[in-house]
Amino acid sequence: MEFDFADQQPKLLMLMYGLVAFVVVVGGLLLLLDVVPAWFARRREAQLVAASVSGAPITRRPKQREGLFALFFLLPTLLLLTIGLVVPAIRTTLLSLMDSDSTNWVGLRNYGWMFSDGSIVRVLINTLIWVLLVPLVATSFGLIYAVLVDKARFEAVAKSLIFLPMAISFVGASIIWKFVYAYRGEGDQIGLLNQIVVSLGGEPKQWLLESPLNTLLLIVIMIWIQAGFAMVVLSAAIKAIPGDIVEAARLDGVSPWQMFWRITMPSIRPALIVVVVTLTIATLKVFDIVRTATNGNYDTSVIASEMYNQAFRYGQNGQGSALAVFLFILVIPVVIYQIRNLRQQREG
Amino acid sequence: MTTATPTVAVGTQKTDGTPSSTAGRVRKRLNSRTATLVSIVIAVVWTIPTFGLLVSSLRPEDEIKTTGWWTAFTNPQFTLENYQQVLFGRSSSSGQLAGSFINSLAITIPSVLFPLAFACLAAYALAWINFRGRDWLYIAIFALQIVPLQMALVPLLKFFSTGVTLGGVTLMPAWDLVDEQKFAQVWFAHTCFALPFAVFLLHNFISQLPGDLMEAARVDGASHPKIFRTIVLPLITPALAAFGIFQFLWVWNDLLVALIFAGGGDETAPLTVQLAEMAGTRGNEWQRLTAGAFVSIVVPLIVFLSLQRFFVRGLLAGSVKG
């Protein structure tokens, strides 16, 4: 089949419809907000004029209906959040207590399955490894690099290069790294990692097939993407440390080591917590990397990818929902921790 | 600071200190030189995988499959054949990514615009219109950020495919969308999932606008819609740009939502879905994977590099101000 631009027309037409819908909805809303109050104002004016002509007592100006305005401003957001997030989340919680085609109530059986089925326990352990390693390594790396690059020349370029993977999709990043891990049985290696191993005198390996090494190699992809985020946020925090504090410490003759632990670390603590929390949540939900690199095979599956498989490939709505709810439960303590920290900061 | 003298007042210099001895100065320069060297080496190592992909995507198929990309420098053979194949190829196995590219665009543009507009309106109301329960509403929307979108996928898909019936009464018929109409589902899903963060980020900016300004406008008799259009919108353009870039990168790079709501057909599948598919079924066709991956990377990369300033600002505002 030759590529034919005519085939693409329905899509572009659909995009047009979408844009028209956007203009109509948003423009219509703004117009409504403009016209309706203006109409009321005119009527009120007419009333006043009529009243002053006839000499009737002027009625008290009604209290402005701020609430009505707010309702219209908030209407699309509230509607969409209710339909798209709140109701589905409640439904998912209910579905997790039902069987695979959501007809019978089964109590907590799906949760029991989660902790007894060997392969799912493996999934939970993998998720734990991800959640422990990614925030720790990515944040440490980002911090070290932020400190290092603070004194370096070409700072902007170096930071951009580290930050660049943030723009690459997880799918693209997974393909990039799959290529690094690529394996050939005979002849020259085409994967960089195997080439390095071979040139050091080792045997090439099928990296992504060997558990538990493959999980670690997938974690490398995530760290590669997220370290830039940690670095940018922490670098900004380091630059925000007041100069006179640094100067005073330097005059007191502290060593760089002391400077780092006594001045830098306490000053950037809030940013550090935010980075760790953000990365933890992102890691808990990681799906694309596992799906693209191994499709969850060879003992690499994590909760989010298993949830997709259960709910959308095997048609196990109950079990999939239970995994989603479990994911939600795991996120909650992390967020509570962050909120408590924020509150302490505000008070302190 | 080569001309620095030891008598420089403390605090006027932000960094670099004032090394009093020659040895100190030399050590300082050496230190910063090592730091420069190490940070550049790390940055280069960080970029090698991407660079390898780019080089490979330009090499002929036989070369990619038999020799490492690093040999391309001693034995340079470059071609655009892979891109030709992967974008416009005749066989269905080639990916035909040009179509997917358009799908990605068709999915992304409305999915950025809708949440941007809705969140803007909502954030203004939450920041500057007085009504009862305002703080609670804001906290509720803020809290929704933590709900993983996995929690919404199964019911939302069901909502699209069967509609809503309550007690035998059809409140909302099934959407029954086919082919490219499925884009609407994806827009809807992305908009819903983006709103809590969008409201939070824009509220951060809008609530920090000077209250005097709003007060003055109110005294002059401007209504809320008018203030919103003529005062607030122009002032928060950087925030709009920041969120726009965020959402653009997020939607363009998203796999999960597209996989579920757009499906894998050629009519609707965006680049990420097609690529993930290729990586799964034709994992050794590196000439296509490398070129395809680069096609999917190039747009976000351009957006990102040209608008990095806004992106970083948004990142810091969204994560640190909290």
Chain A residue closest in CA terms to B260: A312
The Cα of A128 is separated from the nearest Cα of chain B by a number of Å equal to: 17
pLDDT computed for residue A258 by the predictor: 85
Q: Is A89 on the interface with B (CB under 8 A)?
A: yes
Residue extents of the structural domains in chain A: 5-109, 117-347
pLDDT computed for residue A202 by the predictor: 79
Question: Between chains, do A3 and B259 touch, taking CB under 8 Å as contact?
Answer: no
Q: Are B154 and A87 in contact (CB under 8 A)?
A: no
CA distance B125 to B259: 34
Whether ipTM exceeds 0.95: no
pLDDT computed for residue A130 by the predictor: 92
Interface of A with B in 257-296 (CB under 8 A): 270-271, 274-275, 278, 281, 284-285, 287-288, 291-293, 295
What is the share, in percent, of chain B residues with pLDDT greater than 90? 11
pLDDT computed for residue B9 by the predictor: 35
CA distance B245 to A162: 19
Residue B317 has pLDDT above 50, yes or no: yes
A-B CB pairs within 8 A amount to 380
pLDDT computed for residue A221 by the predictor: 92
Tens of pLDDT, residue by residue over B7-42, are 333 333 334 444 456 666 666 666 677 888 888 888
Give the Cα-Cα-Cα angle A123, A124, A128 (nearest 5 degrees): 115
pLDDT computed for residue B18 by the predictor: 46
Q: Report CA-CA distances (Å) from A232 to A161, B298, B304.
A: 11, 22, 14
Q: Is B154 on the interface with A (CB under 8 A)?
A: yes
Tens of pLDDT, residue by residue over A307-341, are 998 888 888 888 889 999 999 998 888 888 888 88
Q: Is B179 on the interface with A (CB under 8 A)?
A: yes
pLDDT computed for residue B5 by the predictor: 35
Tens of pLDDT, residue by residue over B84-113, are 877 887 665 566 788 888 889 989 999 999
Q: Is B246 on the interface with A (CB under 8 A)?
A: no
Helix (H, G, I), strand (E, B) or coil at B169: strand
Of B88, B279, B315, the CB nearest to A233: B315
Question: Between chains, do B117 and A224 touch, taking CB under 8 Å as contact?
Answer: no
Query: Tokens 């999939």 map to which residue?
Result: A320
Low-confidence ranges of chain A (pLDDT < 70): 1-6, 55-65, 346, 348
Assigned token pair, A278: 């953000």
pLDDT computed for residue B142 by the predictor: 84
Question: Between chains, do A83 and B192 touch, taking CB under 8 Å as contact?
Answer: yes
Assigned token pair, A200: 């050091």
Chain B residue closest in CA terms to A34: B225
Q: Report CA-CA distances (Å) from A250 to A150, A244, B10.
A: 16, 10, 10
Chain B residues whose CB is inside 8 A of the A12 CB are 102, 106
The Cα of A167 is separated from the nearest Cα of chain B by a number of Å equal to: 6
Interface of A with B in 219-248 (CB under 8 A): 224, 229, 232-233, 236-237, 243-244, 246-248
CA-based max dimension of chain B: 88
Please give the CATH number for the structural domain made up of A117-347: 1.10.3720.10
Residue B189 has pLDDT above 70, yes or no: yes
Residue B60 has pLDDT above 70, yes or no: yes
Tens of pLDDT, residue by residue over B240-288, are 888 888 899 899 999 999 988 887 677 788 888 888 888 887 767 888 8
Chain A residue closest in CA terms to B248: A167
Chain A residues whose CB is inside 8 A of the B285 CB are none
The Cα of A126 is separated from the nearest Cα of chain B by a number of Å equal to: 18
Q: Is B44 on the interface with A (CB under 8 A)?
A: yes
Of A145, A247, A312, the CB nearest to B39: A145
B1: pLDDT confidence band, cut at 50, 70 and 90? very low
Q: Is B93 on the interface with A (CB under 8 A)?
A: no
Compute the residue count for chain B.
Answer: 322
Q: At what angle do helices B183-206 and B150-162 cross, to 10 degrees?
A: 130
Q: For residue B166, what are the β-bridge partners?
A: B169
Of A8, A148, A288, the CB nearest to B99: A8
Chain A residues whose CB is inside 8 A of the B296 CB are 169, 171-172
Of A33, A148, A177, the CB nearest to B35: A148
pLDDT computed for residue B319 by the predictor: 56
What's phi and psi for A2, nearest 5 deg?
Answer: -70, 145
CA distance A107 to A99: 9
Are β-strands B164-166 and B169-172 bridged in parallel, bridged antiparallel, or unpaired? antiparallel
Residue B225 has pLDDT above 80, yes or no: yes
Integer-rounded Cα radius of gyration of chain A: 29
Nearest to B279 by CA among A295, A185, A306: A295
Query: Tokens 């809708």 map to which residue?
Result: B114
Q: Is B8 on the interface with A (CB under 8 A)?
A: no
Determine which of A20, A171, A260 to mutate to test the interface with B (most B C-beta atoms within 10 Å): A171
Nearest to B149 by CA among A62, A308, A117: A308
Q: Report CA-CA distances (Å) from B193 to A104, B15, B197.
A: 29, 44, 8
Q: For residue A325, what are the β-bridge partners?
A: none
Positive or negative torsion for Cα A176, A180, A185, A188? positive
Assigned token pair, A175: 């393909």
Domains and CATH numbers, chain B: 92-319 (1.10.3720.10)
